[in-house]
Structure 1
């Protein structure tokens, strides 16, 4: 569900960029620009390194529920069978061809024992970001709002449908070096221009009465729904509408947690979904101003998925599975690939023990604007209070292993350059 993802994880959405500190750089005058040495361009992001591994290297592999994992993986296996056999399975040639994946999926489905099915059809490879084995894992969930299909009373905040003039552009279609990068805007004359930012949209730059999918009673809840990318709206008549991501205005995502920390409003170590929401509730005079600092704006569509045990459709078009679906960076990973994750869950209030180990097989079924890098994951926790709490506090370092079809993984082991993507 390509969150406002931003399919972003809450804590990264709150904290991204804070670990290195926050700097304020004033505008320089002309003379200063002429005499001040220009900074070096930023270093390129680390490449994805794939190192062959064994099943014993996956902590907790034997204890996982392999039957549940197989169900989640099979929901997206059909993606590979729909592609031509020689089509690339993902953005990186080391991930193999669709035919390799379709064959592995078929073998997995036919296996009597799910664990044996995985071990016979796939091999694990350890994912590194350059030399770093660990990366950030966050979480997201499916929130519920209260609303009405018609405007009135407390229902004054619209969830907008995708405007007809919003244009998405895949830059990779024009230049190979831009593969995986996208922009959005609208055509004015013969030029693609930026779409209105959040502040302008909130102030009426778009016809809300024409575009409103539903009206909700809480602008702050609507803001966080855009970050999650999908959710449920309990309507006045007792029914529940499910809404999902339909597009984004093309502006970059700004974490308002970062804004509040920079202002000294919330201590960095205290930032969470819950603390940001509390601050906005306590400062209604500034809430919209702070939310407008995030120029990104997400549009929605009504979705028909009625199975309440499953989440909304992810980036692969199939419903997300709580605890099994993972948002990844699709510029590195193949959508539908099994990914084993080893990280820690946050310690819940009142818990006698420390953080709980999260060691399980997941599947790359979603993406997110803040989910960037080879070792970066956003765990879908599902619906409800516990899911909301976990999503709001999840921020742990962890490791990941891709499960590649055996012929593909064997190719990595015999090609010395392939492991580093060179």
Structure 2
């Protein structure tokens, strides 16, 4: 009755766990660890993790999570490590694929409310037919057919099509206006096509080796090769639409998948088939500048697929973008689940 156990596991996760692997993927496995097996656990700032957890836990519908959120709200922040150790258990979720951790950030673009000779590239809202279609026009068809024009779908116009392309990859950002004010935009939908990496395409063409590719490298190449660069961006058929997010204060992070602000270096984008949104996640990132930190799963991303795949939020602006672009490291991530849910994932004789 292995299929039944997987179904029960999915219910225990409460976030659409991956029940039936497809395309020959390995079956998902769950291993309970002790907190002593989490490298660097005692040295982390658990109070900061508790603050990030409280940012989204109030929105969780499940009774188990709601009860824990209530306890977290009444928790002495100085005793945050004890709170996580008392009410959670670490579960290592694996699907056979190696761990990969990357970074993301909130970009800042230059733009205006009205088009001009400088600001020529529109940031679009999602048209109703795209929302209804599920899968709509590809990036190429959407941008070359004229279907978006003269419909009042523009939020703003920006001065750089390459930055606009990467704004779509990040899913949120700020547009700085000529008068010094800014517009904050968040994810507002997509055209339903699968994201295809332009970095991998440059590697496939032999332009770069895999270790050379970063957002900054891609931007420079596209700008040095404008015609070939424009065609390269069309390699990705996915197109992201935006919505204006005026209620988020400038001091707070952008909205994540839970419609709450994400926190710099405490929020993770994860694959919710394996990691419940809102759950604490212990991150052990290796490579340059190793990271041992309790994060909160508060976002998702079109390129984030797999049990050991995550994106670390680095903050807003160019400096954050540089740091996020450097990150492409191995390691492992361990999700912290409420005790009863953790045991529900394990064999009966555990």
Deviation at 1:75, TM superposition (A): 1.1
Deviation at 1:358, TM superposition (A): 0.6
Distance 2:286 2:319 in 1: 16
Distance 1:43 1:294 in 2: 22
Partner of 1:32 in structure 2? Answer: none
Question: Does the residue aligned with 1:165 lie in a helix, a strand or coil?
Answer: helix
Deviation at 1:105, TM superposition (A): 2.1
Partner of 2:141 in structure 1? Answer: 200
Contact kept in structure 2, 1:251 and 1:296, CA below 8 Å: yes
Alpha-carbon displacement from aligned partner over 1:203-239 (angstroms, at most 9, x marks no partner): 1432334211100000111011111111010001210
**Which residues of structure 2 form unaligned runs of 5+?**
1-21
Distance 1:138 1:252 in 2: 19
Distance 2:40 2:108 in 1: 33
Count of matched residue positions in the alignment of Structure 1 and Structure 2: 326
Change (3 A) 1:412 1:165: closer
Contact kept in structure 1, 2:105 and 2:321, CA below 8 Å: yes
Let me know the Cα RMSD of the aligned residues: 1.8
Change (3 A) 1:162 1:61: same
Partner of 2:331 in structure 1? Answer: 398
Deviation at 1:413, TM superposition (A): 5.2
Q: 1:70 aligns with which of 25, 50, 69?
A: 50
Contact kept in structure 1, 2:248 and 2:254, CA below 8 Å: no
2:188 matches 1:224: no
Partner of 2:202 in structure 1? Answer: 260
Q: 1:150 aligns with which of 114, 127, 143?
A: 114
Q: 1:117 aligns with which of 75, 83, 102?
A: 83
Contact kept in structure 1, 2:105 and 2:315, CA below 8 Å: yes
Q: 1:385 aligns with which of 306, 313, 318?
A: 318
Q: 1:364 aligns with which of 290, 293, 297?
A: 297
Distance 2:252 2:43 in 1: 23
Change (3 A) 1:344 1:102: same
2:81 matches 1:140: no
Contact kept in structure 1, 2:258 and 2:299, CA below 8 Å: yes
Distance 2:82 2:286 in 1: 26
Alpha-carbon displacement from aligned partner over 1:30-50 (angstroms, at most 9, x marks no partner): xxxxxxxxxxxx843233322
- What TM-score does the superposition give when structure 2 sets the normalisation length? 0.88
Deviation at 1:286, TM superposition (A): 1.7
2:41 matches 1:99: no
Alpha-carbon displacement from aligned partner over 1:44-65 (angstroms, at most 9, x marks no partner): 3233322111111111111111
Could you tell which deviates more after superposition, 384-393 or 303-312? 303-312
Deviation at 1:336, TM superposition (A): 0.5
Question: Does the residue aligned with 1:313 lie in a helix, a strand or coil?
Answer: coil
Distance 1:360 1:327 in 2: 15
**Which residues of structure 1 form unaligned runs of 5+?**
1-41, 84-97, 170-183, 186-194, 346-354
Partner of 1:173 in structure 2? Answer: none
Kindly name which structure, 1 or 2, has the bigger radius of gyration based on alpha carbons: 1
Partner of 1:163 in structure 2? Answer: 127
Contact kept in structure 1, 2:267 and 2:296, CA below 8 Å: yes
